[in-house]
Amino acid sequence: MPRLAGLATAVPDHVITQAEAREGARRVFAARPALFERMAPIYETAGIDTRRSAVPLDWYFAPHDWHDRSTVFLDTALDLLEDAARRCLDEAGIGAGEVDAIVTICSTGIATPSLEARAMDRLGLRSDAVRIPVFGLGCAGGATGLAVAARLATAEPGATVLFVCVELCSLAFRTEAPSKADIVATALFGDGAAACVLRAGEGGFAHIVGHGEHTWPDTLDIMGWRIDPTGLGVIFAQAIPAFARKNLRPAMDTILAAQDLAVDDVDAAREDLIARGVDVSEVFHFAAGPFINAVENPRVSGRDPEGRSYFSFASFEDPDGNGWLLQEITTRLPGREWEPKQARTAGAATLADLLRETSEHHDRYEKTHAEHHWWDWYASYLNSRQNGGSPEEAAAAADRYMEEVLHIPPR
């Protein structure tokens, strides 16, 4: 399981307050005062006090072409990448020469050779270190890039993977014919970099138990860049909030389902697993609510004091070393009720045997097929078993899913 051994950030020197950003944008939008005043409340509702910028505020009051923006991007992005990477490696106590692979995420500028290639000598990375530069992931770049780095660390036990994300969003702001999207951008975005070091095995201060992706069809025009002689210009469709409200939750439920097992009684499930030889954590709840880690000491020992559905947990690892959460759900929220084809069986009594059975069947598949995500096969197998399929039928269903939907070839 990949573990985080170091984590650091880096920001440029220029600080712009929200009030300064608002007044600067008002100056740029002087020719369209009605539009600006209609959009101005976003500076208050965005919840942002300050941001860091690659350039001082007055830089935006003059015209700049692609060459100007690219020059600033290359100089600043490279400095931020180096700073974040050094801080991260120092925190982890790892030398740059120990890095076996580096994953670099950036969608706000173009560099060829790529940023990490330009930083190789500056950081002291080995000449045989694997380089994976990724462009175009946008706002999801940090999470998706971390998943890529985690997969690399998992695939090469003992390898050290450095992950760096650098974004200079402010350089895309347009002063000529600015749009509503530009106003939104000035209220939200800043510049900076973040880095982490991952290794599979022991150590580290946190581990990555899962990750997933979801791509919606016919959504290429919702967010992105428009490209012209000035540079990259932001695209924000008005439909983004409605789209997120409608589509994000189902996708996240599917991704999280591979890591979260619902049980009616978390204490009984825990005792049953322990009796079968599984090492299970103490029952706990989240201080600020389920899966909210943005507070100090987010996990609190013991059941949820109010006994609420969805709020009590326990964790364990399956025979493959994958992390799982038991979540006690006694009453489901509206719209999330189970509608099984047959009556549900008691999950606590059969959970360990079912996971062991799934692991054994997956082991056979893993030995005969190309690299894949274990949770894809697990999900199909468990879905078939939940709906009454035999182990043989479930394994066949999972094999078909991997072949026909995910196109995983045999070895």
pLDDT digits (tens, 9 = 90+) for 114-159: 999 999 999 999 999 999 999 999 999 999 999 999 999 988 888 9
Q: Could you tell me how many helices (H) and strands (E) the chain has, helices first? A: 12, 15
On the CB side of 283, how many CA atoms lie within 13 Å of its CA?
Answer: 19
Question: Is there a contact between 149 and 210 (Cβ–Cβ < 8 Å)?
Answer: no
Catalytic residue among 139, 165, 169, 196: 139
Q: At what angle do helices 180-188 and 18-28 cross, to 10 degrees?
A: 160
Structure tokens at 306: 């109010």
pLDDT band (50, 70, 90) for residue 339: very low
Among candidates 253, 90, 306, 66, which has minimal Cα distance to 174? Answer: 66
Mean pLDDT score, 91-99: 96
The pLDDT tens digits of the residues spanning 379-392 come to 888 877 766 677 88
Strand 2-10 and strand 206-207: the pairing is: antiparallel
Rounded to an integer, what distance in angstroms lies between the CA atom of residue 373 and that of residue 362?
11
Q: Considering only 114-118, 164-168, 407-411, which range has the smallest mean pLDDT?
A: 407-411
The pLDDT tens digits of the residues spanning 3-55 come to 899 999 999 999 999 999 999 999 988 888 888 899 899 999 998 999 999 99
pLDDT band (50, 70, 90) for residue 320: low
Rounded to an integer, what distance in angstroms lies between the CA atom of residue 258 and that of residue 376?
8
Residue 139 designated active-site: yes
Which residues are CB-neighbours of 308 under 8 A, at least 6 positions away?
A: none
pLDDT for 338 equals 45
Rounded to an integer, what distance in angstroms lies between the CA atom of residue 302 and that of residue 312?
8
Give residue 220's identity as a one-letter amino acid code. L
Question: How much is the mean pLDDT over the chain?
Answer: 86
